[in-house]
């Protein structure tokens, strides 16, 4: 049996322009706000939003203070349309790499997002990964959907 068997697929429509959604996936402040699942805070340690670049990030359990970290490498960046990257956990008990593709499509009411994450380590139940993504995407909606006027 392979150590990397899991795949999750997610689909959402957000009432926000693709530019804002893309920015949330490629900016330090955006990722720190929306990507950590409920009960966790996030810190992006290094950010280089270009193909061949990426970021290191840690999630810290707010209640216990324990944390885990991972590294992302961008394989493809098509502004406001597509992001593809690999994820590697720093924990040696979670070896190998996952591959994540995020497709953005402008639709009448905002942006349609399709996410596919492949190669999830077999020790992580797919349903837990899916649940984490659902929580993160709810927070993403809170970040990108409000239309706040720029009063500067």
Res 3 pLDDT > 60: no
Q: Which of 65, 45, 48 is nearest to 56 (CA)?
A: 45
pLDDT digits (tens, 9 = 90+) for 19-72: 999 999 999 999 999 999 999 999 999 999 999 999 999 999 999 999 999 999
Phi, psi of 131 (to 5 degrees): -60, -45
Angle at 40 between CA 27 and CA 117, to 5 degrees: 60
- Coil, helix or strand at residue 149: coil
pLDDT digits (tens, 9 = 90+) for 118-142: 999 888 889 999 999 999 999 999 9
The domains located in the chain, with CATH, are 4-144 (3.30.530.20)
């Amino acid at each position: 049996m392979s150590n990397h068997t899991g795949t999750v697929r997610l689909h959402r429509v957000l009432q926000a322009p693709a530019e804002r959604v893309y920015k949330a996936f490629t900016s330090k402040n955006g990722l720190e706000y929306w990507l950590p699942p409920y009960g966790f805070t996030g810190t992006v340690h290094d950010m280089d939003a270009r193909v061949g670049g990426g970021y290191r990030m840690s999630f810290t359990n707010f209640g216990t203070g324990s944390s885990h970290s991972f590294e992302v490498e961008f394989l493809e960046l098509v502004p406001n349309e597509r992001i593809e990257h690999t994820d590697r956990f720093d924990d040696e008990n979670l070896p190998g790499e996952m591959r994540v593709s995020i497709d953005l499509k402008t639709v009448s009411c905002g942006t349609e997002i399709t996410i596919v994450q492949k190669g999830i380590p077999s020790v992580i139940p797919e349903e837990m990964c899916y649940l984490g993504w659902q929580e993160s995407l709810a927070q993403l909606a809170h970040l990108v959907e409000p239309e706040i006027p720029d009063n500067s």
